[in-house]
Structure 1
Amino acid sequence: MSDEQTETGTGWPQPAGPGRPAGPAGEPDPRPDAPDPDELSPLAPREKPGDGERSGAEGGDVEPVEDATVELSSTPASAPAGRGRVSAASVMIAALLALLGFTLVVQLKTTSTDPASGATRQEDLVRILSDLDARENRLRQDIAALEESQRQLRSGEQGRQAALEEATRRADELGILAGTLPATGPGLSVRFEAGAKPISAVHVLDAVQELRGAGAEAMQISGGDRATVRIIASTYFLDGENGSLIVDGRRLTGPYTITVIGDPATMRTALNIPGGVVASVQGDGGTVHVEDREVAEVSALHAPIKLEHARPVS
């Protein structure tokens, strides 16, 4: 064994490496804290304490020291846990989406099966609301007129004349409502023609009620034989023989025409409400013709009713 093998303590010649820095004359670095060049070399083998002495003493070959291998077991171990969390979150999101979809389906089914919302169109609802507003305005105008009449009746010398005019006006209105006076004004002509089934008294009564609710002020009904009956609050309708109608005890044959005085637009809307008079008659195979009249004449008169029991309150 050579001197160089003994100095390294490994039994093998020291590998060639960069030379130790030297001074001007090639001598070792004179600094006391200068690092050992053997320690800085990446190719220098790491020695355990006592290896040099043991190798030098034994003088035999030394087995190379194997570096400890660090197993990165944390990464593979954490991967299944991460996949498990993602799977649980996916299941939760899917369950929430399924619940939301079920709720939407139930709501849509409930809305689609609602008979009121399915039968009434938005245009009809807007038109009905407009009619109600117009009726409210008319009632407010009536209230204002009555209040003005009351003020005039209490105003001294003009009280008698105002009272007479007011009494005359009220008598005319009551005469029209009672059917004892003829009337004229804008309105409608409503004609009922039978189809497979005759026009029933129920259909005519429904039409009269719808017209009254829409502000009709005077009405009369005529048959195919031109017989005419004034319609008032006490008028009744019955089904007669061979598709005829009995109106206040008088027999009328079809087709039937109702002449009515009032606001044409409001009354036409009332008749054409979904599920109303027009739809009912068409469901039985009949037809209803509604025509506007700038001047509708209600000329049929009703005999005055003699009251036997009712008396005005004084």
Structure 2
Amino acid sequence: MDQGQGQGPRLRRPAPAGTLIWVLLALLGFTLVVQLRSNDSDDGLAGARQEDLVRILSDLEAQDSRLLAEIQGLEQSKQQLTSGVAGKEAAREEAERRSQELGLLAGTVPGRGPGLDITLRDVGASHVLNSVQELRGAGGEVMQLNGANGVSVRVVASSFFVDAAGGGIIADGEQLAGPFHLLVVGPPGTMSTALQIPGGVVAQAKSAGGSVTMDSRSLVEVTAVRKAAALRYARPVS
């Protein structure tokens, strides 16, 4: 016969804190019932004096008050334990959210959101750098630079750009051929305006014989990621 037959659904085991509270409540209730039955069954009560009966009743009322106070204290402890768990859960969720945000800033996780797809033609490293800086000032949060040769680089705070011998640029040690596509997640209108201010990125590229065109998108996907750097010396301050 299959040992699994005839068995009902398994009950979930209560949390240790909840189990302790309910056990204590049960013991307190049992103690009260036993005390009441003991007093009810006492043959001496029938012939006890009025003063003795008053004293016994007073003791029972005092004991009842103490038990009620202990029950209330246990209920408060249960609420505190519950709120403590909720607080820890909220803290864990906040830590995960902050971790994701830091991962986006460090370039270790992909990102997506509204933004711009910018094409830069016949420009040098200085124009790419100016574009990145202008976009950051206008609210650009996550960026990726793609070269015509299929090389992609995640742009972060430490990124650098230099002109490469024979054409193209070197971004963070990777050589990219033009034209370049700069994907950036941020407020499209604000960033587009920032690039087109008089004497700004678009004007500078045009005067140098290049061009900068922008395509506003409701969803820009930044897929290039970087490996997290292993710190050798720095430690957080406790």
TM tier, shorter chain? 0.5 to 0.7
Match in the other structure for 1:211? 135
TM-score normalised by length of structure 2: 0.64
Give 1:161 shift.
0.9
User: Match of 2:184?
Assistant: 260
In structure 2, the gaps of 5 or more residues are: 1-82
- 1: distance between equivalents of 2:170 and 2:120? 15
CA shift digits 1:31-59 (9 cap, x unpaired): xxxxxxxxxxxxxxxxxxxxxxxxxxxxx
Structure 2 residue corresponding to 1:278, chosen from 184, 202, 215: 202
Partner of 1:175: 103
C-alpha distance in structure 2 between counterparts of 1:297 and 1:157, whole Å: 36
Give distance in 2, aligned partners of 1:235 and 1:286.
Answer: 22
User: Partner letter of residue 172 of structure 1?
Assistant: Q
Q: 1:128 — aligned with what?
A: none
Tell me, yes or no, if structure 1 residue 193 matches structure 2 residue 124: no
Give the Cα–Cα distance (whole angstroms) in 2 for the partners of residues 292 and 305 of structure 1. Answer: 33
Q: Matched residue of 2:114: which SS?
A: strand
Q: What whole-Å deviation, never above 9, does each CA across 1:82-102 have from its counterpart, x for those lacking one?
A: xxxxxxxxxxxxxxxxxxxxx
Structure 1 residues 1-314: aligned runs within 5 Å: 156-194=84-122, 199-314=123-238
RMSD: 1.1
| TM-score normalised to structure 1 length | 0.49
Counterpart of 2:143 in 1: which secondary structure? strand
1:306 deviation in Å? 1.5
Question: C-alpha deviations, 1:247-279, integer Å up to 9, x for none?
Answer: 010100000110000000011111111111111
Q: CA deviation at 1:208?
A: 0.3
Aligned residues: 156
Higher Cα Rg: structure 1 or 2?
A: 1
Q: CA deviation digits over 1:62-92, x for unaligned, max 9?
A: xxxxxxxxxxxxxxxxxxxxxxxxxxxxxxx
CA distance in structure 2 between the partners assigned to 1:288 and 1:165 by the alignment: 41
Unaligned regions of 5+ residues in structure 1, if any? 1-154
Percentage of identical aligned residues: 51
Aligned residue in 1 for 2:9: none
Larger relative contact order (CA 8 Å, sep ≥ 6): 2
Query: Counterparts of 1:159 and 1:280 in 2: how far apart (Å)?
Result: 53
Q: Which runs of 4+ in 1 moved over 4 A?
A: none
Aligned position for 2:17: none
